[in-house]
């Protein structure tokens, strides 16, 4: 039986269908979920997609984090269900306190859209296990390139929180080459202590199909470095 991955659509979600396609490409069954219900439809994992829920009113992700379905997402996360927040979804996870820290406007004040190199710092989470030894492994560290597009992607947290994230290996993705938004310690994505909840600003779902991904040295738009992220959750959930 295929693993069922729920993708929640909020008013103003943008990349829900891209995330669904990514799930389908790795052999999972994407299940559309609606923000206004308390129904998780029995899914095995949840993705909070990118976009501009509620027009980023109040703070990015703040109003969505209070949606009816988010109370179900929070309790599912506490029982260990894999939950992934991409971009606006990461902002929701921070606002819902499922992940520490916060996301503020980019330090340079403008929206940024680029293919971004990242280092996968932690390959033991529910969403990154398939990166272990995968893609372009350089000296034990896995480096990937996936698109990044945000206006409020600056990760910030108190000095104590940053020290704890670094000390306990909860930094999952780190920006390489350039820091595109002023994030502290070049942090692009983090996880909770259990490793089932992961949030990141860049968009793995936009690098899953040759012809539509970032450029690589092999060919234009051939990058599919986002695929292992979705494959990780499926592998973790399939019975051995």
- Stretch binding other proteins (CB under 8 A), from 6-14, 20-28, 29-37, 107-115: 107-115
- Stretch binding other proteins (CB under 8 A), from 59-67, 168-176, 217-225, 229-237: 59-67
Q: Which two tokens stand for residue 65?
A: 């984090």
- Least Cα distance to 69 among 100, 97, 34, 93 occurs for 34
Q: Which positions ≥6 away from 92 have C-beta within 8 Å?
A: 48, 53, 61, 64, 65, 70, 85
Q: Choose between 2 and 66: whose C-beta lies nearer to other proteins.
A: 66
Query: Considering the rule CB under 8 A, would residue 31 count as an interface residue with other proteins?
Result: no
205 is an active site residue: yes
* DSSP per-residue letters across 93-158: HHHTTSSSSEEE--TTSS-EEEEEEEEE----STTTGGGTT-SEEETTEEEEEEEEEESS-EEE--
Query: Considering the rule CB under 8 A, would residue 232 count as an interface residue with other proteins?
Result: no
- How far apart are CB 106 and other proteins at their closest, in Å? 6
Query: Considering the rule CB under 8 A, would residue 106 count as an interface residue with other proteins?
Result: yes
- Which is catalytic among the residues 87, 121, 152, 170? 87
Residues of this chain that interact with other proteins (CB under 8 A) are 58-59, 62, 66, 94-95, 100-102, 104-109, 154, 156-158, 182
Q: Residues with catalytic annotation?
A: 87, 203, 205
């Amino acid at each position: 039986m295929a693993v069922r991955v729920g993708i929640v659509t909020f008013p103003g979600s943008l990349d829900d269908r891209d995330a669904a396609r990514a799930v389908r490409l790795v052999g999972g069954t994407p299940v559309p979920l609606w923000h206004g219900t308390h129904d998780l439809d029995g899914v095995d994992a949840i993705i909070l997609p990118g976009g501009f829920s509620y027009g980023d009113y109040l703070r990015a992700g703040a109003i969505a984090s209070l949606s009816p379905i988010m109370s179900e997402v929070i309790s599912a996360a506490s029982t260990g269900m894999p939950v992934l927040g991409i971009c606006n979804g990461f902002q929701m996870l921070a606002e819902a306190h499922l992940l520490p820290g916060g996301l503020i406007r980019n330090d340079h004040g403008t929206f940024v859209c680029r293919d971004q190199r990242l280092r996968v710092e932690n390959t033991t989470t529910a969403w990154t296990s398939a990166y272990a030894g995968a893609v372009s492994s350089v000296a034990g560290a896995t480096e990937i390139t996936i698109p990044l597009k945000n206006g409020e992607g600056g990760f910030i947290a108190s000095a104590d929180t940053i020290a704890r994230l670094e000390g306990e290996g909860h930094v999952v993705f780190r920006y390489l080459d350039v820091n595109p938004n002023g994030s502290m310690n070049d942090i692009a994505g983090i996880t909770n202590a259990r490793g089932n909840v992961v949030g990141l600003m860049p968009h793995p779902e936009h690098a899953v199909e040759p012809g539509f991904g970032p450029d690589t040295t092999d060919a234009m738009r051939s990058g599919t470095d986002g695929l292992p992220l979705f494959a990780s959750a499926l592998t973790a959930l399939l019975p051995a």
